[in-house]
């Protein structure tokens, strides 16, 4: 009797029952899977666009001089300015001037954002590998040239772009002179604008697994976006929710001041 009762005791002193081993093994597998998941990269980016504000723009002045005197003084001042006179039609009483095409990467003296407002963009780029997180913020006036990083989720990873924007501006204005009696002349300015945004850069595929190196970058672009508008009529690009551009009034104010320095603010 004592010998038979000792068998269960010996069995209980052996290692864990098979069910316990199975649960322990399953727990180890789950832990391993969770550990593997933490090696994935996570890349995301977002954009916030703020459209341009409306402005009050002065485009007209009355000069206390006869037409001939007003015309002569205006042409003299224009010849000394940075504007380029493209057409002189005294018989038709108008002058056409051009703002020299410029890119603010080439010259800081004639930045497009001085004359046009296309709003402001704030971009955020975030990259995490499970251990560290890096965040970059890009804030710029749309009418200025700029650089930023962007990302798109694709099967197996992300498409990461280093983007360069180059902005150039063409603008022209027609200055009309209208005699008002023998001693006064009304001067009116009407302007037209075209802004071009050239977008290019490099793009690379970045795998989800942080142990895998990104692929070699490849160049893309350039792609051109063009927006036309006038002093009081804003312009938009063709994309849904796209850009809007307006005149700042700086171009018009400068020409009004040349026509009538006494009225300049």
Question: Quick check: 264 pLDDT over 80?
Answer: no
pTM above 0.85, yes or no: no
Neighbours of 102 (CB within 10 A): 20
Which pLDDT band, with edges at 50, 70 and 90, does 240 fall under? low
Instruction: Express each pLDDT in 196-208 by its tens digit.
Output: 999 999 999 999 9
Instruction: Express each pLDDT in 161-219 by its tens digit.
Output: 999 999 999 999 999 999 999 999 999 999 999 999 999 999 999 999 988 999 999 99
Which pLDDT band, with edges at 50, 70 and 90, does 26 fall under? very low
What does the block give as tokens for 118?
A: 């296309």
Instruction: Express each pLDDT in 73-130 by its tens digit.
Output: 999 999 998 889 999 999 999 999 998 754 444 444 458 999 999 999 999 999 997 7
The CB-based long-range contact list for 158-162 (8 Å cut-off, 24+ gap) reads 158/41, 158/43, 158/205, 158/206, 158/208, 159/203, 159/204, 159/205, 159/206, 160/43, 160/203, 160/204, 160/205, 160/206, 160/214, 161/201, 161/202, 161/203, 161/220, 162/201, 162/202, 162/203, 162/217
Paired strand residues for 45: 125
Q: What is the spatial distance between Cα 72 and Cα 77, in angstroms, rounded to a whole number? A: 9
Question: 């038979």: which residue's tokens?
Answer: 4
């Amino acid at each position: 009797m004592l010998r038979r009762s000792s068998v269960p005791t010996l069995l209980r002193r052996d290692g864990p029952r098979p069910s316990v081993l199975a649960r322990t093994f399953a727990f180890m597998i789950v832990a391993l899977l969770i550990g593997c998941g933490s090696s994935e990269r996570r890349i995301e980016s977002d954009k916030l666009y703020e459209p341009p504000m409306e402005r009050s723009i002065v485009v007209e002045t009355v000069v206390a001089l006869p037409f001939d005197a007003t015309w002569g003084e205006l042409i003299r001042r224009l010849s000394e300015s940075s504007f380029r006179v493209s057409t002189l039609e005294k018989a038709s009483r108008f002058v056409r001037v051009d703002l020299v095409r410029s890119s603010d990467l080439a010259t800081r003296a004639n930045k497009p954002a001085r004359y046009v407002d296309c709003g402001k963009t704030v971009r955020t780029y975030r990259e995490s590998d499970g251990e560290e997180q890096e965040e970059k913020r890009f804030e710029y006036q749309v009418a200025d040239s700029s650089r930023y990083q962007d990302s798109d989720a694709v099967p197996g990873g992300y498409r990461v772009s280093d983007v360069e924007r180059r902005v150039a501006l063409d603008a022209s204005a027609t200055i009309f002179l209208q005699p008002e009696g023998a001693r006064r002349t009304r001067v009116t300015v009407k302007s037209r604008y075209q802004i071009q945004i050239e977008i290019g850069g490099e793009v690379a595929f970045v795998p989800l697994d942080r142990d895998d190196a990104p692929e070699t970058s490849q160049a893309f672009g350039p792609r051109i976006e063009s927006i036309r508008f006038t002093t009081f009529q804003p312009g938009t690009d063709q994309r849904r929710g796209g850009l809007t551009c307006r005149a700042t009034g700086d171009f018009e104010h400068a020409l009004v001041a040349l026509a009538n320095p006494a009225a300049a603010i």
